[in-house]
């Protein structure tokens, strides 16, 4: 399911303020090619999370169209979009079931988008597979498969969220400041893991970040939002030539 194209054409999102309507996104035209790893920058209130919420269906669009993997999902229910889209949030506690073990969370994620049945879970048969998957995190998650997720460290829990989001190769991966709540060392580990997974699985990915170093270091493309509008789009050599000073101008 990986390597899908995402297109947003003239997408507008409005919010009601009293008797009037205020635009949160204004005429967003964006096409993300299959396999693109796009970092998304912008000051607070620029529209970054609103963009993600419009894609996932958590914010209805007032106008425009959104297509993913050749399907018009503009009016599709969030549950339907969840079969195509995986999202990792800033809070490590989101995206996992706290009282279920690490292995149980991975088993649940492996069945994302499928109808659940009363058949045997088949957990034992997949323990070796889950251990190998968790071992790539290098933070001891592979030794904690039988531990309730609520007992994990923040870094382990976020690594688990990332594994759960990507193990079924979504058509689109959304990373919503997924390292913001972590210390610098753990953040670096998660970003290394993120880049490895995205590259190995050839995922199409959008990543919101406030870390300018990460925005420069990762991905083949960088976009900037300001006041609900797409104001800059750098790719390839143009992105590679960017400096921290170039990006700071958008936060002045």
Report which of 166, 164, 173 is spatially closest to residue 103, judged by C-alpha positions: 164
Report which of 48, 87, 92 is spatially closest to residue 187, judged by C-alpha positions: 92
The tokens describing 207, both together, are 């990543």
Q: What angle (nearest 5°) sits at the alpha carbon of residue 55, between those of residues 216 and 26?
A: 80
In a domain, 167, yes or no: yes
* Segments in the chain forming alpha helices (H): 48-56, 78-81, 102-110, 127-135, 154-166, 184-201, 212-217, 236-240, 244-248
* H or E stretch at 174: strand 172-176
Q: Helix count (H) and strand count (E) of the chain?
A: 9, 10
Q: What is the pLDDT along the chain (252 residues), one digit of tens a residue?
A: 567 899 999 999 987 656 667 889 999 999 999 999 999 999 999 999 999 999 999 999 999 999 999 999 999 988 889 889 999 999 988 889 999 999 999 999 988 766 555 454 688 899 999 999 999 998 999 999 999 999 999 999 999 999 999 998 999 999 999 999 999 999 999 999 999 999 999 999 999 999 999 999 999 999 999 999 999 999 999 999 999 999 999 997
Q: What is the CATH number of the domain that holds 108?
A: 3.40.50.300
Position 92 scores a pLDDT of 85
Position 118 scores a pLDDT of 41
Alpha carbon distance 198, 184 (integer Å) = 21
Position 18 scores a pLDDT of 62
Position 210 scores a pLDDT of 93
In a domain, 1, yes or no: no
The answer to whether the beta carbons of residues 194 and 201 sit under 8 Å apart is no
In a domain, 33, yes or no: yes
What total of structural domains would you count in the chain? 1
Report which of 101, 109, 119, 224 is spatially closest to residue 163, judged by C-alpha positions: 109
In a domain, 175, yes or no: yes
Residue numbers of the domain that contains 67? 6-113+121-251
Rounded to two decimals, what is the model's pTM? 0.93
In a domain, 144, yes or no: yes
The tokens describing 155, both together, are 């870094």
In a domain, 147, yes or no: yes
């Amino acid at each position: 399911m990986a390597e899908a194209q995402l297109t947003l054409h003239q997408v507008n999102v409005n919010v009601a303020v009293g008797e009037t309507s205020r635009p949160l996104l204004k005429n967003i035209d964006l096409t993300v090619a299959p396999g693109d790893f796009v970092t998304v920058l912008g000051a607070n209130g620029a529209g970054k999370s609103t963009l993600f919420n419009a894609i996932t269906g958590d914010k209805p669009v007032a106008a425009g169209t959104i297509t993913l993997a050749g399907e018009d999902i503009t009016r599709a229910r969030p549950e339907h979009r969840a079969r195509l889209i995986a999202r990792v949030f800033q809070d490590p506690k989101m995206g996992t079931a706290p009282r279920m073990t690490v292995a149980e969370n991975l088993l649940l994620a492996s069945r994302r988008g499928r109808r659940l049945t009363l058949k045997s879970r088949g957990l034992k048969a997949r323990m070796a597979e889950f251990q190998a998957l968790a071992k790539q995190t290098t933070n001891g998650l592979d030794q904690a498969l039988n531990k309730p997720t609520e007992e994990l460290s923040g870094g382990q829990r976020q690594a688990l969220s990332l594994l759960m989001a990507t193990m079924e190769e979504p058509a689109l991966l959304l990373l919503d400041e997924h390292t913001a709540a972590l210390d610098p060392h753990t953040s670096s580990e998660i970003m290394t893991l993120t880049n490895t997974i995205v590259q190995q699985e050839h995922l199409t990915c959008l990543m919101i970040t406030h870390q300018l170093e990460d925005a420069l270091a990762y991905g083949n493309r960088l976009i900037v939002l300001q006041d609900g509008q797409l104001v800059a789009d750098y790719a390839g050599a143009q992105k590679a030539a960017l400096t921290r000073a170039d990006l700071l101008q958008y936060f002045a």
